[in-house]
């Protein structure tokens, strides 16, 4: 199971939200690049970066912050948040982003997905489905889509999309475990490659996720649980860290 640390950017800073609520924001580091370097030094094989400002407005507010991460790291970076046009996708892929995540636009402008797949390989284009009680939400999780999650998944599959990042919103940022049943149901109904997201809290959750590999769930995005040191092995990583020294809550980061 590939573990992908998440970096959410709001107002240029590395933050985490609770259930996508922008009023429940916690800042972990002022510079998202510092956070990216920390995860890479702890052997992350891939990063998931989201422009939260763009998710609300569609404007690529944090493009330069994301570019800094991409050009300074030697691992793939997937980017999501407000990507709603061919130009936005091209800008990200041109700077070296490994793959882009189409969220709201998959619902509001499905023709964009069709156009993208005419230009780029399916491995470059991923659809993010963020569902609450089985219904995808869009525009920064502020509006309902009117579809069932698996219906949207099957539509995207018919267009040529191979992978979905599936998030159970009711679990995201709650530190109460991930949506096992909702993720399993979605994976079984669509038969797609799935990156799970939202609510993974501890090693027990990872073991349960491992049970879903036969359904196509092969990777997981983890946010708050990593930032809050919920995995025992993290302390071992910190003890052997050579380049960065940081406190338990990530409130500071400095070079030795």
The residues annotated as belonging to the active site are 8, 130
Contact predicate 166/216, CB 8 Å = no
Cα–Cα distance for residue pair 245/123, rounded to 1 Å: 36
Q: Which tokens sit at 24?
A: 């429940």
Within a 10 A sphere around the Cβ of 176, how many other Cβ atoms?
A: 10
CA pair distance 244, 191, nearest whole angstrom: 41
User: Given phi > 0 = left and psi -120 to 50 = alpha, else beta, which region is 140?
Assistant: left
Contacts of 33 (CB under 8 A, 6+ apart): 65, 68, 69, 72
């Amino acid at each position: 199971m590939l573990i992908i640390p998440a970096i959410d950017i709001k107002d240029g800073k590395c933050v985490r939200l609770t259930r996508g609520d922008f009023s429940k924001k916690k800042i972990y580091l002022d510079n998202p690049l510092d956070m990216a370097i920390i995860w890479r030094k702890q052997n992350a094989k891939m990063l998931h970066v989201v422009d939260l400002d763009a998710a609300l407005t569609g404007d690529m507010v944090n493009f330069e912050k994301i570019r800094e991460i991409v050009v300074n790291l030697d691992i793939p970076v997937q980017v999501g948040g407000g990507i709603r046009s061919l130009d936005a996708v091209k800008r990200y892929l041109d700077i070296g982003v490994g793959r882009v995540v189409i969220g709201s636009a998959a619902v509001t402008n499905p023709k964009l997905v069709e156009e993208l797949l005419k230009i780029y390989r399916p491995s470059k284009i991923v659809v993010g489905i963020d569902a609450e009680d089985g219904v995808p939400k869009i525009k920064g999780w502020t509006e309902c889509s009117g579809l069932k999650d698996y219906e949207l998944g099957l539509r995207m599959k018919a267009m040529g999309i191979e992978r979905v990042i599936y998030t159970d919103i009711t679990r995201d940022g709650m530190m109460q475990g991930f949506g096992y049943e909702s993720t399993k149901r979605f994976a079984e109904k669509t038969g797609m490659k799935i990156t799970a997201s939202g609510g993974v809290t501890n090693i027990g959750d990872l073991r349960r996720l491992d049970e879903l590999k036969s359904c196509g769930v092969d990777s997981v995005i983890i946010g708050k649980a990593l930032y809050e040191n919920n995995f025992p092995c993290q302390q071992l990583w910190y003890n052997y860290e050579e380049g960065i020294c940081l406190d338990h809550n990530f409130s500071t980061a400095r070079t030795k």
